């Protein structure tokens, strides 16, 4: 009795596994080329969790003045105080960089708007390498005169171990799916033919929290920061030879 297995074309969905049957005859590219041996293919997503240990924080100060020069001068004085305060909270100079600066006119309403003053905004991005210092840095910046705190991003300095754990889980899931399909088709899995791991094609695993403040001055209590967990994903695609009974 001749038995013909249907090979499986992989289809990946985030967080799911899928196998789709495709006739083995469709694998032949021409009449002269031999069809591929029957195989089982599956794709899987594996996940691992990690605690973030670093943060990126944006700190800005806005000032107003009757002239652009006055607004910019006040802004420079305040931002200098903020940078000094952040350094005093344990942040080294190479971890602080200017990420935005602008000065613009403000206008009154009506059909013929008039300039009523000028506003200056200076934003610095701060890399915090000790996650426990995030609240301390925020409080220091606010106490020195920061008017805006935002775009707080929490991340992990190393995701290699978590990435390998996610890959292991993905391979285990894919093999379990392929084995189930092989048994249902009346056979079993043979040797591994191919295994591929998707590269890092997505943004860095990232958790973000936004903190805003419109009041200058020191915070009445230490700012609490909950780090939570980051989810690291890995996607694999694998093929095993199908062995008929």
The 10s digit of each residue's pLDDT in 112-152 is: 889 999 999 999 999 999 999 999 999 999 999 999 998 88
C-beta separation of 43 from 12 below 8 A: yes
Q: What is the pLDDT of residue 188?
A: 95
Q: Which two tokens stand for residue 147?
A: 């008017």
> 30 or 33, which is more confident?
33
Residue 5 has pLDDT above 90, yes or no: no
What angle in degrees, to the nearest 10, is found between the helix axes of 68-88 and 134-143? 140
Q: Give CATH 3.30.110.170 domain extents, the chain.
A: 7-46+159-202+234-244
Closest to 115 measured CA to CA, from 100, 104, 101: 104
Q: Give CATH 3.30.70.2970 domain extents, the chain.
A: 54-155
Helix (H) or strand (E) holding 46, with range, is: strand 39-50
Domain spanning 7-46+159-202+234-244: CATH superfamily = Protein of unknown function (DUF541), domain 1 (3.30.110.170)
Name the class of domain 54-155.
alpha beta
Q: What is the pLDDT of residue 213?
A: 44
Question: Could you tell me the pTM of the whole model?
Answer: 0.70
Residue 216 has pLDDT above 60, yes or no: no
Q: Which two tokens stand for residue 210?
A: 């936004």
Q: What is the mean pLDDT of the chain?
A: 83
């Amino acid at each position: 009795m001749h038995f013909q297995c249907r090979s499986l074309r992989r289809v990946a969905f985030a967080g799911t596994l899928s196998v789709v049957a495709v006739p083995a005859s469709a694998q032949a590219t021409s009449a002269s080329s031999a069809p591929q041996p029957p195989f089982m293919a599956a794709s899987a997503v594996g996940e691992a969790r990690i605690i973030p240990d670093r943060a990126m924080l944006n700190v800005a100060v806005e000032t107003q003045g009757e002239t652009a020069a006055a607004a910019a001068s006040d802004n420079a004085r305040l931002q200098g105080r903020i940078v000094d305060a952040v350094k005093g909270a344990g942040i080294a100079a190479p971890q602080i960089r200017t990420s935005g600066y602008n000065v613009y006119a403000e206008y009154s309403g009506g059909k013929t708007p008039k300039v009523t003053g000028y506003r200056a905004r200076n934003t610095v991005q701060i890399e915090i390498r000790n996650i426990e210092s995030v609240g301390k840095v925020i409080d220091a910046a606010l106490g020195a005169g920061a008017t805006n705190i935002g775009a707080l991003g929490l991340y992990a300095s190393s995701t290699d171990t978590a990435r390998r754990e996610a890959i292991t889980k993905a391979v285990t899931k894919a093999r379990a799916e392929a084995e189930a399909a092989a048994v249902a088709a009346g056979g079993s899995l043979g040797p591994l033919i191919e295994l591929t791991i998707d590269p890092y094609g997505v943004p860095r695993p990232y958790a973000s929290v936004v903190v805003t403040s419109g009041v200058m001055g020191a915070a009445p209590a230490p700012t609490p920061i909950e780090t939570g967990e980051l989810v690291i994903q890995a996607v694999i695609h694998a093929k095993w030879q199908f062995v008929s009974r």
